Amino acid sequence: MDLVEKSLEVIINNQSKSGAFIASPSFDTYAFSWLRDGSFIANSLDQYKKYDEAEKFYRWVNDVINRYSDKVNVIEDKISRGERISRKDYLNARFTLEGFEEKKEGWGNFQLDGYGTWLWAVSEHIKLTGKTELIDEFHNSINAALKYIKLLAFYPNYDIWEENYDKIHTSTLACLYGGVKAINDYLKKDEVTKLANQIKTYILTNCVEDEHFVKFIGTKEIDSSLLWLAIPFNVVDVSDDIFKNTVKKIEDDLFVDNGMHRYKKDTYYGGGEWILLSAWMGLYYKKVNETEKAEAVEKWIEKCATEEGYLPEQVCLHPNDETYYPKWVDMWGEIASPLLWSHAMYLILKSK
């Protein structure tokens, strides 16, 4: 089975008419479209010149942001008056496939990462297609996203795993910097340059402990998503000493037999190895010309595919705590498979 072709098929077949990508078609909890996941999924299609399908997603997000952009003005007004911002004021991290807020109680919807990731993905799409007219077409949504980021970039919010709502997360800040910096290649606005510089300075000043980047401010722990600082968001270069120290810790603490854990204390489905994060390690190895290691990661991912050619969210070959696996199965069912983000990151890895 050609897993590249199968991955493209899985993604395209699970794009709704609206343009949204369902996170996983077989996992009820993931029957929504996340801005973050979807932006990486659309970017994977861009790598294979599936530009129309990718752009459908970018346009879907444009419509979603425009639909709810009044919230950004409410937040701005509340901040100026020193009033408390409530949960209902924030823009959501995930939406129904039709582009509306979902109202499930208890879900960590205040996540900023998706708005930065969308700005970055749109910028990459323009770079590949030359469609600079999208900057004008998306004028309102781009400005709303930038204002939202400017207002809340340094507020505690849920991380990329929908956890730790009371922390400020390094990988979230990386998403914001990457998006702001990338879109300003086309906007060329001084105030946007200033915002990008503020975020980068904040990361370098506050998100380093013991000569390595940390999962969130106030800890010395790491997270494999710290790879995003260099790939793809370019906060630092892969040659940066602090980043190299971080990669070494990730390799030592989280990377086992070519499979990548999220973080040491992860117990979601036992805390197994995530396909998409393993692909990120492969991208790093390709970037630093460690070809054999990158190839080993590719082969490991391919071995994780099911008989149908589906890539799951994670596999539990070396779980952090296997006693948690049946607890999650009882609560939500078996691990999500296929996960479109897993397929997307495999495609991106193979394209480089």
Catalytic residues: 159, 162, 313
- Tokens found for residue 145: 């996203």
- Rounded Cα–Cα distance for residues 136 and 271 (Å): 44
Alpha helix segments (H runs only) across 30-103: 35-47, 51-68, 70-81
- Rounded Cα–Cα distance for residues 274 and 287 (Å): 20
Closest CA to 235 of 158, 170, 287: 170
CB atoms under 10 Å from CB of 321, counted, come to 11
- Rounded Cα–Cα distance for residues 271 and 319 (Å): 5
- Tokens found for residue 123: 């910028």
Q: Is the dihedral of CA 58, 61, 66, 70 positive or negative?
A: negative
End-to-end Cα separation, the chain, in angstroms? 20
Q: Is the dihedral of CA 324, 330, 335, 340 positive or negative?
A: negative
DSSP classification of residue 143: H
